């Protein structure tokens, strides 16, 4: 099967449409960034305490916000993750010692309001060690005679079942019948001695002011150095203007994706930074493939006008561009759709980045080359044909 055979589209002729599109996207993104006061940093860079809690059914967001907001200083945000019965509870940045207390307060408040209630420990938040500990006396009383080792194994099996088969939340003791070792006596004991709450803690992140600032600075520095390294390598392999064009295109991609993150109100976390690095690598790869072709064509056909050479090169590589981008796009789309909440921001960056990165190679990086060549030719006089040093 072949889709693009001997195509001859005038890509450079269409550059205006795409440059306008880029400008619109950039302005929209920057406007959003300015209006929201910069990117929405995730806990990694912003600092503060953040707790992910999963509920048995749709979480009562307002109730959670009110009860925790009453006990924790500063602004408390409670955001619902759609479709997963999960909420993210986030607090403002405070001094380290205070964050530690805040974290505990969030735990305690959740436990008091949504835990099993009463003095009985909550089966949905208990650890296997503590479960084994608390089972010891009542099991004997209910006539279940197992030794310490067996009791610990039983507790572990119950907790593993809860976490892997039930995503951390049991709705009744009856569900545990599937666990090896849970017999009538054990069930009775569990029902008597433990309560079942409606939530569990999925993830906790506490980042103090010292670490947050450091992480932000290092991530930005590393990315800039990496971009610089690429520029130098491309300049060395091609001409310096190629390096500049490629880095400009990548910069354009990152800015637009950053803008899209702001428009769709997504957080920039450390994982998202990895996604940005991926899209930088991807877009750079795409640009180099086209540049390589331009360089090759310049060697063969020296007398052709430069824009024609660019068009020819883009057309020749079109089939590969569509194939590669299409395939990578689909991989990332699969990640976006099936990857779950943790990978969501990450996949979002890649999905946007691949689309932007692919067209920037054709409509940003290549026109920069053409424009530069045009300038050089105009300075030298119009008669001379384009020549390459490469």
11 binds other proteins per the rule CB under 8 A: no
Beta carbon of residue 6, minimum distance to other proteins (angstroms, whole number): 8
Dmax (CA) for the chain in angstroms is 102
| Site residues (CB under 8 A) for other proteins, limited to 53-72 | 54
24 binds other proteins per the rule CB under 8 A: no
DSSP letters for 34-98: HHTTS--B-HHHH-EEEEEEEESSS--HHHHHHHHHTTSSS-EEEEEETTTTEEEEEE----HHH
Interface residue with other proteins among 211, 244, 255, 368 (CB under 8 A) is 211
Q: Given the rule CB under 8 A, which of 1-9, 12-20, 179-187, 374-382 is the region that contacts other proteins?
A: 1-9
User: Which stretches of the chain are assigned E, i.e. beta strand?
Assistant: 48-55, 76-81, 86-91, 199-207
Asked whether 122 and 111 are in contact (CB, 8 A), the reply is: yes
Beta carbon of residue 296, minimum distance to other proteins (angstroms, whole number): 7
Interface residue with other proteins among 40, 65, 188, 320 (CB under 8 A) is 320
**Which CB, 24 or 137, lies closer to other proteins?**
137
> Pattern of binders to other proteins over 133-172, x per CB under 8 A?
xx-x----------------------xx-xxx-xxxx---
CA 76 – CA 98 distance, rounded (Å) = 15
- DSSP code of residue 268: B
Nearest to 292 by CA among 388, 226, 158: 388
Beta carbon of residue 240, minimum distance to other proteins (angstroms, whole number): 15
Pairing label, strands 48-55, 86-91: antiparallel
337 binds other proteins per the rule CB under 8 A: yes
- DSSP code of residue 13: G
CA 363 – CA 13 distance, rounded (Å) = 10
Interface residue with other proteins among 12, 144, 268, 335 (CB under 8 A) is 335
Interface residue with other proteins among 32, 85, 91, 128 (CB under 8 A) is 128
Return left, alpha or beta for 265; rule: phi > 0 is left, psi -120 to 50 is alpha, else beta: left
Beta carbon of residue 371, minimum distance to other proteins (angstroms, whole number): 23
Nearest to 14 by CA among 319, 283, 367: 367
| Site residues (CB under 8 A) for other proteins, limited to 37-56 | 52, 54
Q: Given the rule CB under 8 A, which of 24-32, 174-182, 211-219, 256-264 is the region that contacts other proteins?
A: 211-219
**Count of residues that bind other proteins according to CB under 8 A:** 96
Beta carbon of residue 126, minimum distance to other proteins (angstroms, whole number): 9
In the structure encoding, which two tokens stand for residue 40, read together?
């929405």
Interface residue with other proteins among 33, 123, 182, 219 (CB under 8 A) is 219
| Site residues (CB under 8 A) for other proteins, limited to 93-112 | 96-97, 100, 103-104, 107
Interface residue with other proteins among 31, 183, 285, 301 (CB under 8 A) is 285
């Amino acid at each position: 099967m072949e889709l693009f055979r001997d195509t001859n589209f005038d890509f450079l002729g269409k550059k205006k449409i795409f440059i306008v599109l880029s400008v619109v996207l950039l302005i929209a993104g920057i406007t959003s960034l300015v209006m929201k006061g910069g990117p929405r940093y995730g806990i990694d860079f912003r600092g503060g305490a953040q707790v992910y809690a999963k509920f048995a059914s749709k979480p009562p967001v307002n109730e959670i916000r009110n009860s925790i907001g009453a006990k924790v200083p500063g602004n408390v945000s409670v955001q619902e993750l759609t479709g997963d019965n999960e909420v993210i509870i986030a607090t403002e940045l405070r001094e380290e010692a205070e964050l530690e207390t805040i974290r505990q307060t969030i735990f305690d408040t959740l436990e008091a309001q949504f835990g099993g209630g009463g003095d009985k420990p909550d089966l949905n938040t208990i650890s296997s060690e503590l479960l084994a500990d608390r089972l010891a006396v009542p099991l004997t009383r209910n006539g279940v005679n197992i030794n310490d080792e067996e009791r610990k194994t039983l507790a572990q099996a119950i907790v593993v079942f809860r976490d892997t088969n039930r995503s951390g939340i049991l709705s009744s003791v009856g569900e545990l019948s599937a666990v090896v070792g849970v017999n009538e006596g054990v069930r009775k004991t569990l029902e008597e001695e433990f309560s079942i709450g409606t939530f569990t803690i999925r993830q906790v992140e506490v980042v103090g002011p010292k670490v947050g600032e450091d992480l932000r600075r290092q991530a930005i520095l590393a990315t800039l150095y990496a971009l610089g390294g690429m520029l130098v390598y491309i300049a060395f392999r091609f001409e310096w203007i190629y390096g500049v064009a490629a880095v400009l295109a990548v910069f354009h991609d990152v800015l637009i994706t950053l803008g899209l993150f702001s428009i769709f109100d997504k957080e920039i976390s450390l994982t998202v930074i990895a996604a940005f690095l991926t899209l930088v690598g991807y877009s750079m790869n795409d640009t180099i493939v086209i540049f390589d072709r331009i360089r090759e064509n310049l060697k063969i056909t020296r007398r052709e006008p430069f824009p024609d050479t660019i068009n020819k090169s883009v057309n020749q590589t079109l089939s590969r561009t569509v194939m590669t981008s299409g395939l990578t796009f689909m991989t990332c789309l699969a990640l976006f759709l099936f990857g779950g909440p943790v990978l969501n921001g990450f996949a979002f960056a890649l999905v946007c980045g691949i689309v932007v990165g692919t067209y920037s190679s054709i409509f940003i990086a290549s026109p920069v080359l053409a424009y530069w060549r045009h300038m050089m030719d105009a300075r030298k006089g119009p008669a001379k044909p384009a020549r390459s040093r490469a």
